[in-house]
Amino acid sequence: MSALELRDVVVDYHRRGTTVRAVAGASVSVGAGQIVGLVGESGCGKSTLARAAVGLVPTSGGSVTFEGRPVTPLSRKARPRELARLQLVFQNPYSSLNPRRKVGAQLADALATLDLVPRQARAARVRELCELVGLPPSAVDRYPHEFSGGQRQRIAVARTLAADPSVLVLDEPLASLDASAQAQLANMLVDLARRLELGLLLISHDLAIVRHVADAVSVMYLGTIVEQGPTRAVWEEPLHPYSEKLIGAVPRADGSGVLPTALPGEVPDPTAPPPGCRFHPRCPYAFEPCGVDEPPLVPLGAGREAACWLRIGSKTSREETTRRVVW
């Protein structure tokens, strides 16, 4: 069973009388101890989906369940205790930590709020949390500004670990870090996931890192998931043209001087998504049905799914395809 399950989630933002559908029916699941990467261009809805996953934005459709319970949006009422085991790590550790409180105090706050450990055991637990994320014990007596960006992100992770979570949702945790700090943090996250059986939903625009650490990956385009499957398989043979273009656009530091593939066009305006497949205006392989009907995300074997008429036509029965599309 999945620890965190998002099914056909829809999120609408209302602004000045118009409605923007930021997430238009997306499904993602994270199993216990599994690392799932969620990738896509900015504006594709991946951060909104992350927020919906932890109940920070209300959904207009679909369901989010965590360990079998529905994840309800934050309200004035106290959050059900069980949901504390689902935690979010924000992108910017500079703004998510309190600059005026020592690191130890901030970690102890989390323990006190949830009352998970008796008062006299808190100091020991705080030191243990520091150790888990690779911070020296002396860190507890220092302020966030005394740490580098990478260390600050570790503190932010340590604070979520105080809640004894089973799933962490991480929104661009590695953005704004140098390569070496990224590598350190990525290693730490993999290590935590394996050691604590912690499920991770890793939202990132950095495909290389996701490729390296995630067990499974979901590719998002304009509010929908266009492909998902085991990371290695998706990288080796992307089944959706968008995944192919996205992966091909990553430059490689191999000294070859080969320019990455450019994807022409812009991400369309989410207030007026194109009819049919949302990617079809930019897709080099688009054919008749693509501009008419939106392709569903269908299983294509070996744990892989893609939402592309090219694949659906080749894998499902002819009747099924023609029932969906008339061309």
Binding site for another protein (CB under 8 A): 41-43, 148, 150-151, 178-184, 186-187, 190-191, 194, 205, 207-209, 211-213, 232, 235, 245-246, 248-264, 266-267
Single out the residue of 223, 206, 139, 126 nearest to residue 172, CA to CA. 206
From the CB of 261, what's the least distance to another protein, in Å?
A: 5
User: What's the Cα-to-Cα distance from 262 to each of 114, 224, 236, rounded to whole Å?
Assistant: 49, 22, 19
Q: Supply the DSSP string of 52-76, one letter for each residue.
A: HHTTSS--SEEEEEETTEE-PPP-S
83 in helix, strand or coil? helix
φ, ψ at 48 (rounded to 5°): -65, -40
From the CB of 46, what's the least distance to another protein, in Å?
A: 11
| CB of 120 or CB of 180, closer to another protein | 180
CA–CA distance, 246 with 239 (Å, rounded to integer): 12
Question: Which two three-digit tokens encode residue 174?
Answer: 């590695």
Across the chain, the runs of DSSP E, i.e. the strands, are 2-15, 18-31, 35-39, 61-66, 69-70, 86-89, 167-171, 199-203, 216-221, 224-230, 298-299, 305-306
From the CB of 257, what's the least distance to another protein, in Å?
A: 6
Single out the residue of 261, 177, 194, 235 nearest to residue 37, CA to CA. 235
| CB of 86 or CB of 130, closer to another protein | 130
CA–CA distance, 310 with 288 (Å, rounded to integer): 11
CA–CA distance, 69 with 3 (Å, rounded to integer): 10
| CB of 121 or CB of 179, closer to another protein | 179
| CB of 66 or CB of 221, closer to another protein | 221
From the CB of 236, what's the least distance to another protein, in Å?
A: 9
| CB of 90 or CB of 147, closer to another protein | 147
Single out the residue of 159, 117, 100, 99 nearest to residue 135, CA to CA. 159
12 within 8 A of 24, measured Cβ to Cβ: no
From the CB of 244, what's the least distance to another protein, in Å?
A: 11
Question: Which two three-digit tokens encode residue 325?
Answer: 């599309």
From the CB of 146, what's the least distance to another protein, in Å?
A: 11
From the CB of 88, what's the least distance to another protein, in Å?
A: 22
| CB of 7 or CB of 143, closer to another protein | 143
From the CB of 209, what's the least distance to another protein, in Å?
A: 6
| CB of 125 or CB of 154, closer to another protein | 154
| CB of 128 or CB of 191, closer to another protein | 191
